[in-house]
Amino acid sequence: MDVKMESSWKEALRSEFSKPYFEQAALHVKTEKSQGKIIYPPGSLIFNAFESTPLDKVKVVILGQDPYHGPGQAHGLCFSVPDGIPAPPSLVNIFKELRDDLGVQIPAHGNLSHWAQQGVFLLNASLTVRAGEPMSHAKIGWAPFTDAVIKTISARKKHVVFLLWGKFAQEKRILIDENKHLVLSAAHPSPLSAHAGFLGCRHFSKANEWLMAKGIDPVDWALN
């Protein structure tokens, strides 16, 4: 697998690429493609989060479960969709919370690249998925890699805000040094759970307050 990744990440994660689990994940994706299965996102975008947000720029981490599994939706940034693709329900709820928290207008698109370019690292725990089959690649070897990524951020950085939405993301809390970083957790923004604590969590303003208190520029969450 061609690991297309910004250089600071490549250096920090170099030892992971030769580990059996990583080679197994790469082989699994390659094998399924050779069998004619459709895998999302396209190969060039599997590591888009790493390409868009260099390690030294990371100030907020949002953790997703796995890529969107519908045609054209996944582009390697969790919760985000490319221009021209309607915002999925979870993203719509994220935008509603942003509006209610900070008064940010709901954008006409769902492309979160503007966040990524400012240091919001949009990481899915699984980096690929089979078309139409959510969580189909959850056990092929991505989890140890993305766990190593979270540990790397925790160890090498300070004053990062981790936004953990839903039970799956919250299980990663043990990987984070909370003496150095802020962890904010809430229900998942999915329509099934958003009313159980995601809507009203005010994570966007809380993240910016923490960053500013540490002398770090806040995130401009507006996308229009």
Catalytic residues: 66
Q: DSSP of 171-190, one letter per residue?
A: GGGGGS-TTTSEEEEE--SS
State the residue for tokens 């303003």: 205
DSSP 67: -
Determine phi and psi for 120, rounding to 5 degrees.
-90, 110
Determine phi and psi for 109, rounding to 5 degrees.
-140, 170
Q: For residue 126, what are the CA distances in angstroms to 84, 111, 135, 161? A: 24, 19, 8, 21
Q: What is the CA radius of gyration of the chain?
A: 17
Tokens (6 digits) for 91: 């993203």
Distance in angstroms (rounded) separating the CA atoms of residues 78 and 103 = 23
Tokens (6 digits) for 212: 């500013």
H-type alpha helices, the chain: 7-12, 14-17, 20-34, 48-52, 89-102, 113-117, 142-156, 167-170, 203-213
Tokens (6 digits) for 47: 């590591």
